[in-house]
Amino acid sequence: MDIVWDQFLTIIRQEVGSRVVDTWFKVVLLKRWDIILQEVYLEAPNTFVKDWLHKNYLTLCQTHLARLFKVPVVKVIIYAVNEACKKEPAVVVIDPEANKGEPQLYKPAKVISFKRAQVNTGYSFDNFIKAPHNFLAYAAAQAISEKPGKLYNPLFIYSESGLGKTHLLHAIGGSIKKQNQKATVLYQATDRFVSEFINAVRLNKVHQFEEKYQSVDVLLFDDIQLISNKGQTQEAFFHIFNLLHGAHKQIVFSGDTFPENMNGIAERLRSRFASGLVTNIYEPSLETKVAILKKKAELSNEKLDDDVTLFIAQQSNSNIRDLEGAFVRVLAFASLTKQSITLELAHKVLLRVPAIHKKKLIDMDTVVKTVNKYYNSSKKELCSKSRNKTIALVRHIAMYLIKHLTDKSLRDIGLFFGSRDHTSVVYALEKVERYKKENTQFNLELRHLEQEILR
């Protein structure tokens, strides 16, 4: 069991990054595998961690554990210590033939119907913490949930990662669905849309692909910037957008920048993104982060002293996910060691986490600058679509060093290098590993670069 769990953590670390593993999964135990019922039991240290895993990572757990236990379907049951499991989670059907032959770390769950791809009801307007940095986006989201297709259509919400865009998209979908059970609401991650389109073209099912999207009443499109530099996919999406918009169906986008500043996206698409209401979420102030922590503690039935709350808020950057991660690390440590949450305990937990210091000291730009200086290349070249062998190799080296010297996930790295998908990063890592085994001089160069970056 321990071997399986270690393998699972390795896969998760590759997929979503070390910070997520250190924050959420390292405090969880794989307690039992029922081979007859094909059920996996995971024990969380408290209800906060249990609820967070169930809301955010259940599908990921089901996908990877099914693969590791070599079965097509598993039930993952997450429970807190000394708590009986009250409700079994829904089963995700794993398709062993999905994406056969493609270089992926795992085979994703097959979307059987819209019910499998619907909104996450764990994200709602009730548990979204309203503050000055997100008030306009929140107000617009709530307004269109009351009158979908009639007010701001499309709605475009942009911000840096981890500030609440995805939460609002799910809250809109959940609210509309609650008011009208017959409404077809689809939340779609852009990278999944791209994969679906590629498979539709490959299997000659483009017509069915278009019919699926034309039948929705509300389309929630997350991380739209990932459609950049994908001409055929943009063409397909342009057609879908026009049909839905013309039928007064509600469309909501999220992205990491203002539509007009998006590179690699056709002008006619950018103009449509900006044709409705465009709003952004700013970075929260320290006071806002303190308020968010107090609300999180209240929801978890925990009491945080003001000095502890302020300290945790000061340790995280502007990203709300980082803030929640810092909070849960303190909460989990206190629960596991049966201690009260004090300022001393918070210092002990947060100031000893290497990922925090590493993130402050080394970022992707630092790695790329060092690599470019050594090989006399430029960031523009590395982020371009150039297939020049020399540029491609330098790009692979930079990706390899970022993965090994920072806590960035495969997705983060792919986005940094011109919105590439995670499979491109996996290919780069594997290629560099092969070169290391075959070429002693290459190995020495990598070590030299690593020392320069660490210095």
**Residue 101 above 50 pLDDT?**
no
One fold for 2-110 and 286-359: no
CATH code given to domain 362-454: 1.10.1750.10
**Mean pLDDT across the chain:** 81
16's tokens: 């979503």
Confidence of residue 429 (pLDDT cuts 50, 70, 90): confident
Taking residues 143-172, what's their average pLDDT? 88
Separation of alpha carbons 141 and 128, rounded Å? 11
Name the fold adopted by 286-359.
Helicase, Ruva Protein; domain 3 (1.10.8)
323's tokens: 């803030």
**Model pLDDT, residue 256:** 85
**What SS3 class is residue 424?**
helix
Give the list of residues 6+ apart from residue 54 with CB closer than 8 angstroms, or none.
78, 89, 122
Taking residues 251-268, what's their average pLDDT? 88
Task: Answer whether 0.85 is exceeded by the pTM.
Answer: no
CATH homologous superfamily, domain 2-110? DnaA, N-terminal domain (3.30.300.180)
State percent of the chain over pLDDT 70. Answer: 88
41's tokens: 């039991």
**Residue 143 above 60 pLDDT?**
yes
State percent of the chain over pLDDT 90. Answer: 12
Separation of alpha carbons 291 and 130, rounded Å? 10
**What SS3 class is residue 277?**
strand
Taking residues 41-70, what's their average pLDDT? 85
What are the backbone angles phi and psi of residue 420, rounded to the nearest 5°?
-80, 155
Are the C-beta atoms of 231 and 268 separated by less than 8 Å? no
219's tokens: 């389309």
Confidence of residue 50 (pLDDT cuts 50, 70, 90): confident
83: left (phi over 0), alpha (psi -120 to 50) or beta: beta
Sequence ranges of the domains in the chain = 2-110, 115-280, 286-359, 362-454
Taking residues 133-150, what's their average pLDDT? 89
**Model pLDDT, residue 118:** 62
**Model pLDDT, residue 57:** 87
**Model pLDDT, residue 109:** 33
**Model pLDDT, residue 112:** 31
Name the fold adopted by 115-280.
Rossmann fold (3.40.50)
Alpha helices for 162-285 (secondary structure H): 165-179, 190-202, 206-214, 231-246, 267-273
Taking residues 73-102, what's their average pLDDT? 55
Interhelix angle 389-405/422-438, nearest 10 degrees: 100
Closest C-alpha among 129, 78, 123 to residue 297: 129
Local structure of residue 109 (DSSP, 8 states): B
Torsion of CA 168, 173, 175, 177, to 10 degrees: -170
**Residue 55 above 50 pLDDT?**
yes
- Around 244, how many Cα atoms within 13 Å sit in the side-chain half-sphere? 30
Confidence of residue 317 (pLDDT cuts 50, 70, 90): low
**Model pLDDT, residue 207:** 84
Range with the lowest mean pLDDT among 86-90, 275-279, 296-300, 367-371?
86-90
Closest C-alpha among 321, 272, 38, 25 to residue 161: 321
92: left (phi over 0), alpha (psi -120 to 50) or beta: beta
Closest C-alpha among 144, 164, 145 to residue 153: 144
Separation of alpha carbons 33 and 66, rounded Å? 11
222: part of which helix (H) or strand (E)? strand 218-222
Distances (CA, A) of 380 to 16, 158, 377, 395, 446: 26, 24, 9, 11, 22
Separation of alpha carbons 268 and 186, rounded Å? 24
**Model pLDDT, residue 44:** 87
Task: Considering only CA atoms, give the Rg of the chain.
Answer: 23
Range with the lowest mean pLDDT among 182-196, 248-262, 316-330, 396-410?
316-330
Q: Which amino acid is at 16?
A: V
**Residue 200 above 90 pLDDT?**
no
440 compared with 55, residue with greater pLDDT: 55
Confidence of residue 318 (pLDDT cuts 50, 70, 90): low
User: Which strands form 75-80's sheet, in the order they lie side by side?
Assistant: 29-34, 39-44, 75-80
Are the C-beta atoms of 225 and 194 separated by less than 8 Å? no
Instruction: Provide the pairing of β-strand 39-44 with 29-34.
Output: antiparallel
Distances (CA, A) of 145 to 56, 150, 223, 238, 276: 22, 10, 20, 24, 15
Closest C-alpha among 255, 245, 246, 250 to residue 278: 255
